């Protein structure tokens, strides 16, 4: 799945790949599914509210905007780690 990340004061968008995810708007959480064996309830969670991130959906897809580069970089690092855990989790699934 593709996501676009942005800093609010800048026009450019960074397109990144994300493993299957959910967004729990009530909690302000972006959650990447990280299965282990047959347990699909495991997730890695990122608190978007603490990063002061704003989610915008448009015709092209989902955009997550951060107030500054530091917040965007923190999310991108977290997303890379979460994607790696998800990929590893797929390898642990029962045949």
Indicate whether 13 belongs to any domain. yes
- pLDDT given at position 88: 95
Indicate whether 55 belongs to any domain. yes
Indicate whether 72 belongs to any domain. no
Indicate whether 30 belongs to any domain. yes
Indicate whether 66 belongs to any domain. no
- pLDDT given at position 58: 80
Which positions ≥6 away from 27 have C-beta within 8 Å?
none
State how far Cα 81 lies from the chain centre: 10
State how far Cα 45 lies from the chain centre: 8
Q: How many domains does the chain have?
A: 1
The burial of 59, by beta-carbon neighbours within 10 Å (0-12 exposed, 13-18 middle, 19 or more buried), is given as: exposed
- pLDDT given at position 17: 96
- pLDDT given at position 7: 98
Alpha helix stretches (DSSP H) within the chain: 69-91
Indicate whether 82 belongs to any domain. yes
- pLDDT given at position 93: 85
Indicate whether 17 belongs to any domain. yes
Q: Walk along the chain (95 residues) in steps of 10 and give the mean pLDDT of each run.
A: 94 95 94 93 96 89 95 98 96 83
> Where in the sequence is the domain holding 17, given as residue range(s)?
2-61+77-91
């Amino acid at each position: 799945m593709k996501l676009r990340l942005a800093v609010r004061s800048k026009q450019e968008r960074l397109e990144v790949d994300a493993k299957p995810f959910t967004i729990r708007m009530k909690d302000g959480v972006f959650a990447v599914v990280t299965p282990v064996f047959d347990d699909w309830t495991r997730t890695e969670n990122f608190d978007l509210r603490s990063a002061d991130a704003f989610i915008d959906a448009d015709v092209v897809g989902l955009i997550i905007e951060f107030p500054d580069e530091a917040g965007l970089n923190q999310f991108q690092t977290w997303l890379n780690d979460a994607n790696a855990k998800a990929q590893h989790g797929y390898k642990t699934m029962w045949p």
